[in-house]
Amino acid sequence: MNHPPAPWILKGHGFLTLHLIDFNVAAKVIPKNLEIVQVLPGKTIGGLVLGKYEPSSTLTYGELIAVAGLVRYGGKIGSWVSHIYVDDQSSIAGGRNIWGLPKEEAQFLWQPGGGAIVKQGDRTLCNLTQAWQFNLPRLNGQFDTYTQLAEELMRFESSAVGNLSIVNSRLEVPYSSPFANMIDSQPWMALKAESLEITIAAPVSVGAKVPMPV
């Protein structure tokens, strides 16, 4: 399957839910040579990212990302993606081949009021709905993500700009969802980004192999 080269530019809108995740749960999916950043005793920050990217993007697709926690290597903090789902085969190929992201296929049912139901066949991965929102100024930021490409530990940079809102959301993650043990509560904060533009750079090796947790 062909795919565009990095960098990818993705335009559309998205949601971010933030959760406190138990250190022991995160450690099961995060490589041992990455330090898990604890924000409270025994807790790190993770969550879900739900994005819908429009035809002006490098590729047009829906995406669901489960972030297992914040990690640190060589003094740099980033996130670790444990699960990621899209509805485009070129995105799956590019995600796996360029960034080493474990992309799988899923179906996205976008809701008129905001949010989506994400499914794999008959299994529901999550259902996010939105009520009210409180608009914030247009913001931009940069963040790093660690990943595994073959046996190499890699890091890549993403930058984003968008109109940000705090939203009242309701998240359902059924017990059968692969990340249900990690995202097992309502978010302590949910954000929505509209007129969103994300630039995802090619990954670079940090010069380490990837021993996975036992």
Per-residue pLDDT tens digits for 134-190:
999 999 999 999 999 999 999 999 999 999 999 999 999 999 999 999 999 999 999
Q: How confident is the model at residue 124 (pLDDT cuts 50, 70, 90)?
A: very high
Domains of the chain: 8-209 (2.40.400.10)
- Read off the pLDDT of each residue in 23-51 and give the average, rounded to a whole number: 96
The three state secondary structure string of 154-173 is: EEEEEEEEEEEEEEEEEEEC
> Which comes out higher in pLDDT, residue 54 or 113?
54
Per-residue pLDDT for 82 more than 70? yes
Average pLDDT value over all residues in the chain = 96
Amino acid identity for residue 131 in this structure: A
CA distance 88 to 77: 29
pTM of the model: 0.97
At 72, is the pLDDT very low, low, confident or very high (cuts 50, 70, 90)?
A: very high
CA angle 151, 142, 41 (to 5 degrees): 70
d(CA 37, CA 144): 14
pLDDT in tens, 46-69: 999 999 999 999 999 999 999 999
Q: Is the pLDDT of residue 1 over 80?
A: no
Dist. CA 183–CA 214, nearest whole Å: 21
Inter-residue contact 83 to 102 (CB < 8 Å): yes
SS3 per-residue string spanning 52-119: EECCCCCCCEEEEEEEEEEEEECCEEEEEEEEEEECCHHHHHHHHHHHCCCEEECEEEECCCCEEEEE
- Predicted confidence band at 212 (pLDDT cuts at 50, 70, 90)? low
**For the chain, percent of residues with pLDDT exceeding 70:** 98
Q: Residues 136-173, buried b or exposed e (16+ Cβ, 10 A)?
A: eeeeeeeeebbbbbeebbbbbbbebebebbebebebeb
pLDDT of residue 211: 77
User: Alpha-carbon distance 179 to 176, whole Å?
Assistant: 8
| pLDDT greater than 90 at residue 113 | no
Query: Is the dihedral angle over the CA atoms 85, 164, 127, 111 positive or is it negative?
Result: negative
